Amino acid sequence: MRRVGSLAAAGATSVVLLTGGCGTAARPQQGVSAAAPMPPHPAISGETSAAGSTASSPAAAQPPRATPPACPADYLPPAPDRPVLRLALDVASDHRTVTGTETVTFTPETAIDELDFRLWPNGPEGGRTQGRLEVTSVRPPGTGRPRSVAAGARPGVPGTLLVVPLTQRSPAGKPVTAVLSYTLRLPPARLDRLGATSTLAWWGSAHPMLAWVRGRGWVREGAQASYGETQASEAAALDLTVTAPAADVVLATGLGSPPGAVAAGRRRWHFVAAAARDVVVAVGRFRTLTRLTPVGGGARTVPVTVAALPGAARSLSALMAQLQRALAAHAARLGPFPAEALTAVDLPATGDSGVEYPGLEFIGDVEDAGFTITHETAHQWFYKPGRGRPGA
């Protein structure tokens, strides 16, 4: 995320990470601070491509650096035992309520006695006073009665930690599947990861998130009040369906398919991602512009989309130009873009900030959209969008 005037710790870290690395020795772009070289980027998967990225950059007016190592042309596959997450969501016509079914298959590397999920909308993040995520049923055979733990939750809402005990210990390497039904109530629009108006809804980190970190185990710490980027989860194979009012466009993590009509006044949208650490959805009467865009790794292109609501001050073509420029610059430094698709959503209702999710970023009510796009796009290589291993 990037917050104007009060750069959060995680945001400050990501600014430092924007320079150095593999590929062309690029000059820092406007608004990006110089920093020490970073180690080669971690392995990510999925694409087939040729030689390393050699995109050009402006001639440097600074002292020459040592030639960095060539970027790898491809990434390792995602972890084969990563979680498989299926979300089927339905957005009510008032855009305030989302009902969902989550089916998650988890293969732990150690024996487990329970499944832990985090319900982050119940926390105090950013001074949140409304918003509620409630699991209404858990339906795997072999599980005991779920237990809600406050873990930093606001008063009057379910805990941010849901413990689902297993009726018997499950051994390492054995897949465990849980099916959860839940209801998400979105708060009024403000600077937050989730919000709604009568015609618009967005939510990220807002499904029951399986809270496992390999090598460590369950993450049970109390929810924090700081804005954004404080949850932990495994990168999962994602299959997401969202049913929404027919007049709306749905934007989300993953590679989308054209929507289909499912009932009078409703359409269903489908997205898939090979490995995503989090899930975000935006629903509203968006206008969109999509361009297949080179993103490093030889001739590979991905669909790059910009979106804005009717009457938005920023033009889609200007946003697209900024996003494509940021992608090219980052891919030249860091290696091929590591996901199936990228969408930037011009969404002033999210406040004076930007925030990133795997494959999708929000551009809030900020003065310099180009800077924010550059910042949030860099997060696609770092932090949340890791692919199958902690810290990627």
In angstroms, give the least distance from the CB of 193 to Zn ion: 13
> Can residue 46 be called a binding residue for Zn ion (CB under 5 A)?
no
Of 14 and 233, nearer to Zn ion (C-beta) is 14
User: Segment near Zn ion (CB under 5 A), from 13-21, 28-36, 87-95, 187-195?
Assistant: 13-21
- Of the candidate spans 12-20, 120-128, 147-155, 298-306, the one that interacts with Zn ion by CB under 5 A turns out to be 12-20
Q: Return the number of the residue (203 or 227) whose C-beta is nearest Zn ion.
A: 227
* From 8-16, 145-153, 331-339, 342-350, span contacting Zn ion (CB under 5 A): 8-16
Q: Which residues contact 93 (CB under 8 A, 6 or more apart)?
A: 245, 265
Strands (E), 107-200: 112-118, 132-138, 147-149, 161-170, 176-185, 194-196
Numbers of helices and strands, H then E, in the chain: 3, 23
Q: 260 — phi, psi (to 5°)?
A: -125, 145
CA-based nearest residue to 335, from 18, 21, 7 = 21
Q: Does 223 bind Zn ion (CB under 5 A)?
A: no
The window from 14-22, 99-107, 288-296, 306-314 that contacts Zn ion (CB under 5 A) reads 14-22
Residue 380 in the binding site for Zn ion (CB under 5 A)? no
- Is residue 11 a contact residue for Zn ion (CB under 5 A)? yes
Taking the complex as a whole, the smallest distance from the CB of residue 34 to Zn ion amounts, in Å, to 18
Kindly state the helix (H) or strand (E) to which residue 269 belongs, with its residue range: strand 266-276
CA angle 352, 375, 336 (to 5 degrees): 145
Residue with tokens 């320079």: 19
The answer to whether 331 touches 337, Cβ cutoff 8 Å, is: yes
Does the protein bind Zn ion through residue 204 (CB under 5 A)?
no
3 state DSSP class of 260: strand
Task: Compare residues 2 and 330 and give the one whose CB is closer to Zn ion.
Answer: 2
Q: Residue of minimal CB distance from Zn ion?
A: 11
Residue 17 contacts Zn ion per CB under 5 A: no
Supply the minimum distance, in Å, between the C-beta of residue 353 and Zn ion: 9
CA dihedral of residues 21, 22, 23, 28 (deg, nearest 10): 0
Q: Which stretch binds Zn ion (CB under 5 A): 6-14, 256-264, 292-300, 339-347?
A: 6-14
**∠ CA(108), CA(275), CA(121), 5° rounding?**
80
- In the complex, minimum distance from the CB of residue 379 to Zn ion, in angstroms, rounded to a whole number: 6
Residue with smaller CB distance to Zn ion, 17 or 104? 17
Q: Distance between CA 224 and CA 120 in Å, rounded?
A: 9
358 binds Zn ion (CB under 5 A): no
Of 375, 376, 356, 352, residue with least CA distance to 364: 352
Shortest distance, position 17 Cβ to Zn ion, whole Å: 10
Contact between 355 and Zn ion per CB under 5 A: no
Please, which residue, 74 or 346, has the CB nearer to Zn ion? 346
Among 1, 249, 306, 332, binds Zn ion (CB under 5 A): 1
Q: In whole angstroms, how close is the CB of 346 to Zn ion at the nearest point? A: 17
364 binds Zn ion (CB under 5 A): no
Which span (10-18, 51-59, 241-249, 345-353) binds Zn ion, by CB under 5 A? 10-18
Per-residue tokens: 286? 């968006």
Q: Tell me the one-letter amino acid at 157.
A: V
- Name the 3-class secondary structure at 323: helix
How far apart CA 240 and CA 249 sit, in angstroms, is 15
Q: Does 372 bind Zn ion (CB under 5 A)?
A: no
Contact 352, 43 (CB under 8 A): no
With CB under 5 A, what is the number of residues at the site for Zn ion? 4
Give me the residues that bind Zn ion (CB under 5 A), please.
1-2, 11, 14
